[in-house]
Amino acid sequence: MKIAVGSDHAGYELKEKIETHLIEQEKDIEDYGTNGNSSVDYPDFAVAVAEAVSKSKIDRGILVCGTGIGMSIAANKFPNVRAALCYDVYSAEMSRKHNNANILVLAGRVLDSDVALKMVDAWLKTEFEGGRHKNRLDKISEIEKKFMKGAK
Ligand code: RB5
């Protein structure tokens, strides 16, 4: 599984911790920036990761900004992207089980980093349950087909 990580300055430190954590687990990681604490604009990094997920160049994305809100708004503008802003292990797991989330969005200024790493681990190992949840996601795909270019 190829995983892209991206953040703005407010998510930079947590993004680095997540990347180190995943490299220790020998995961296949691509870092889409940012690469320091200087102020940047979160949509630039959301676009990079979300476009790669949208076009199936990578399997999963992890985005971090201060609250996670801006990243999730921007990432969900892309067809085939299901970006989930999660604040605990339960919501991270449920975003996979029920929503088949392909981008996990985290809040660098809110989350304790140990909790965030547990969320990442849970999110990566939890499978989509399908069934009735697939029917619901199919309805979202219909919305994409109607309103978004490039939707499958
Ligand atoms: C940056 O100051 C902050 O606005 C950003 O990281 C994020 O929280 C936006 O939603």
pLDDT at 92 > cutoff 80: yes
pTM score, whole prediction: 0.97
Four-point Cα dihedral 130, 94, 49, 47, nearest 10? 100
Q: According to the model, what pLDDT value does residue 149 have? A: 78
Q: Is the pLDDT of residue 150 over 80?
A: no
Catalytic annotation present for 86: no
Which residues neighbour 23 within 8 Å (Cβ) at sequence distance 6 or greater? 29
> In angstroms, what is the C-alpha Rg of the chain?
14
The pLDDT of residue 148 is 84
- Band of pLDDT at residue 122, cut at 50, 70 and 90: very high
What single-letter DSSP state applies at residue 127?
P
Active-site option among 9, 21, 98, 133: 98
Above 90 in pLDDT, residue 151?
A: no
Identify any residues that bridge with 3 across adjacent strands, giving them in sequence order: 29, 60
The fraction of the chain above a pLDDT of 70, given in percent, is 100
Give the pLDDT score at 71. 98
Cβ contacts of residue 32 below 8 Å, gap of 6+? 4, 5, 6, 45, 48, 49, 52
Find the 9 Cα to ligand 1 centroid distance in Å: 8
In the residue annotation, 21 being an active-site residue is answered as no
Catalytic residue among 21, 65, 86, 133: 65
d(CA 66, CA 14): 10
The residue segments making up the domain with residue 92 are 2-150
- CATH code of the domain in which 121 resides: 3.40.1400.10
**pLDDT given at position 11:** 98
Residue 132, pLDDT above cutoff 90: yes
pLDDT tens digits for 27-74?
999 999 999 999 999 999 999 999 999 999 999 999 999 999 999 999
The total number of structural domains in the chain stands at 1
